[in-house]
């Protein structure tokens, strides 16, 4: 007889983090009356909606928690879900599916009629910074990007790989087809060595932002050339060049700083206002 060992939650967390797959952790933080799971119980919910490890009880809470996990993975924000019997919801003056004071309420349809509060936290991969090329700006970007918390992927000819320090992923030439889909920012810093090949690859890969290190004139010439070779017109128009924010940068390190400043501003756009509203609401 084959005995199947339950998957350990911590082992699964490590495995999913290493694979770059987004997932959510559901933790029971409070129970009232009879519930199958008790405070401290955990479950891992993968991006396809399956629970891959742990346990938080049966069907009484599962549907509400899975719904919250899908929403959390969609917008990156944690949820607190309270699964309560109908009379308890009436006491709070809420209907199933409503939110109040930061709590999402759901009805417990099980005979136990207990209450279970579950905190659902999305665990998302690091944002990916893909750097095409091995110019001095590319090398500086890889160094600074890693220190800013990006997963750094370098795509460059094999003979240029030694120019870089520690990176997360190294790709020979510009084959970006096997990248794991995630929050991605691509910077083409070839600076005269394989510009068209790198740009075509960058424009064919899913990305939130594609930037080219070069002048307006050079970028315009490349756009015109790539348009005749079948590059997507919408993505060509959206390509940002010159890359970065104008801070008067001169050195490769300063140019890398200006590029990452632009990317960080794009990533955090709107978040500071949300944080400010949350902070003021607690005063």
* DSSP-derived secondary structure for 160-179: GGGG--S-SEEEETT--TTP
pLDDT value at residue 180: 67
| C-alpha radius of gyration, the chain, whole number | 24
- Ranges of beta strands (E only) in the chain are 23-32, 42-46, 51-54, 79-84, 99-100, 103-107, 115-123, 128-132, 151-156, 169-172, 184-188, 209-212
pLDDT value at residue 183: 84
> What does the alpha-carbon distance between residue 142 and residue 161 come to, in Å, rounded to a whole number?
12
pLDDT value at residue 282: 42
Q: Which residue numbers in the chain have pLDDT < 50? A: 1-5, 273-283
Q: What is the pLDDT of residues 70-121, one digit of tens each?
A: 999 888 889 999 999 888 888 888 898 888 888 999 888 777 778 989 999 9
> What does the alpha-carbon distance between residue 200 and residue 232 come to, in Å, rounded to a whole number?
9
Q: Is 70 helix (H, G, I), strand (E, B) or coil?
A: helix
Residues ≥6 apart with Cβ < 8 Å to 67: none
Other beta carbons within 10 angstroms of residue 12's beta carbon come to 18
Q: What is the pTM of this model?
A: 0.65
CATH architecture of 128-267: 3-Layer(aba) Sandwich (3.40)
Q: End-to-end distance of the chain based on CA atoms, in angstroms?
A: 60
pLDDT value at residue 2: 39
Domain with CATH 3.40.50.720 in the chain: 128-267
pLDDT value at residue 177: 86
DSSP secondary structure code for residue 214 in this structure: S
Burial category of 13 from C-beta neighbours within 10 Å (exposed 0-12, middle 13-18, buried 19 and up): middle
Q: Is 154 helix (H, G, I), strand (E, B) or coil?
A: strand
pLDDT value at residue 196: 95
> What does the alpha-carbon distance between residue 28 and residue 256 come to, in Å, rounded to a whole number?
44
Residue tagged 């770059």 (tokens):
20
Q: How many residues does the chain have?
A: 283
Look up residue 18 and give its two tokens. 């290493």
Q: How far is CA 241 from CA 121, 155, 158, 188, 237, in A?
A: 37, 19, 26, 10, 10
pLDDT value at residue 255: 97
């Amino acid at each position: 007889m084959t005995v199947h060992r339950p998957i350990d939650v911590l082992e699964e967390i490590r495995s999913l983090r290493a694979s770059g797959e987004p997932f959510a952790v559901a933790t029971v933080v409070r129970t009232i009356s009879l519930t199958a799971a008790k405070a401290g119980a955990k479950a891992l919910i993968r991006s396809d909606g399956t629970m891959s490890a742990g346990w938080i009880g049966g069907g009484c809470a599962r549907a509400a928690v899975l719904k919250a996990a899908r929403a959390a993975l969609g917008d990156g924000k944690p949820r607190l879900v309270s699964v309560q019997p109908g009379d308890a919801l009436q006491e709070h003056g809420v209907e199933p599916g409503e939110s109040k004071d930061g709590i999402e309420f759901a009805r417990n349809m099980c005979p136990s009629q207990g209450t279970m509060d579950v905190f659902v936290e999305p665990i998302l991969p690091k944002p990916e910074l893909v750097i095409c090329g091995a110019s001095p700006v590319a090398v500086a970007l890889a160094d600074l990007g890693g220190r800013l918390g990006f997963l750094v992927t370098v795509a460059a000819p094999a003979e240029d790989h030694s120019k870089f320090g520690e990176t997360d992923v190294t790709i020979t030439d510009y084959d970006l087809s096997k990248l794991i889909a995630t929050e991605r920012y691509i910077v083409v810093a070839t600076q005269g060595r394989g510009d068209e090949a790198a740009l075509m690859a960058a424009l064919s890969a899913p990305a939130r932002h594609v930037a080219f290190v070069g002048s307006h004139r050079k970028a315009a010439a490349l756009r015109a050339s790539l348009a005749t070779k079948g590059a997507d017109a919408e993505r060509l128009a959206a390509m940002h060049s010159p890359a970065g924010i104008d801070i008067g940068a001169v050195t490769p390190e300063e140019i890398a700083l200006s590029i990452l400043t632009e990317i960080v501003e794009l990533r955090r756009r709107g978040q500071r206002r949300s944080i400010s509203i949350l902070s003021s609401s607690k005063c």
